[in-house]
Structure 1
Amino acid sequence: MTGTRTLKATATRDGRWWLVRLPELDAIGQARTVREIPDVAAEVAALHLGVPPDSVDVDVTVHVTEEAERLWVAALEAEEQARTLQQRAAQLRRDAVRTARAGGYKLDAAAAAFGVSPGRIQQLAKTPPSEV
């Protein structure tokens, strides 16, 4: 939509209601449910700016407790670390297979040594070498 203004808003619980704040406009609204928050944010922005509601787009961030948000961020960081470690482990497996094969070990010997099937050894041997 042309001419749409984008604003940022935050929503926090206040008893049974959600306070919807639009700091750029120094405006606040209330929503009864989480589902109502985007509509309330757009309505408050439109009223404050004196424009139709469809001419504003509000990017709302819903907040819960600081502890819950901290734990969520920690979980995201742990997942990223786990992905990085998993990728490193996969690369080490490929390198181990290449090293064994370069040492003259056949598929079945490498498979027996690493506890996987010869087919898996063949797959690992075909992947690109480490760029490290």
Structure 2
Amino acid sequence: MSTYQQMIFVNLAVDDVAASRAFFTALGYPINEQFSTDDTASVVISDTIVVMLLAKKRYADFTTKDIADSVSTSEVLLCLSAESRDKVDELVGRALAAGGTEPREAQDHGQMYGRAFDDLDGHTFEVMWMDPAVVQG
């Protein structure tokens, strides 16, 4: 079995890189300055997950398609795991304090608990905890 850890780089178009950088920093995520510029910010979610915040003009360099209006349309729901119910509430609380919004009520299914926040540009991040006993079967 390979020990290679595949990574995911989620690229998001944003209106204001500096404001989005401040938002994700307020959530507790560091910025990798090596891969950040005035029109990009590399947000380190974990060792294998990076969110690249790209000014719309820079984002357009990577696609010939129209850039979705993330406030009025949904192309993707990004789901982040959390180690506990309290950590779900903590992260969503930080997002709301930093200017994000909560697009729906919490979903509590006993062994699974989740909430969501929209960032400053309307990208939806779900935050979910699942009872480890359920995950292990």
- Quickly name the TM-score band, shorter chain normalised: under 0.3
Computing the radius of gyration from Cα coordinates, the structure with the larger value is 1
Q: With a CA cutoff of 8 Å and minimum separation of 6, indicate the structure with the bigger relative contact order.
A: 2
**Structure (1/2) with the larger strand percentage:** 2
**Structure (1/2) with the larger helix percentage:** 1
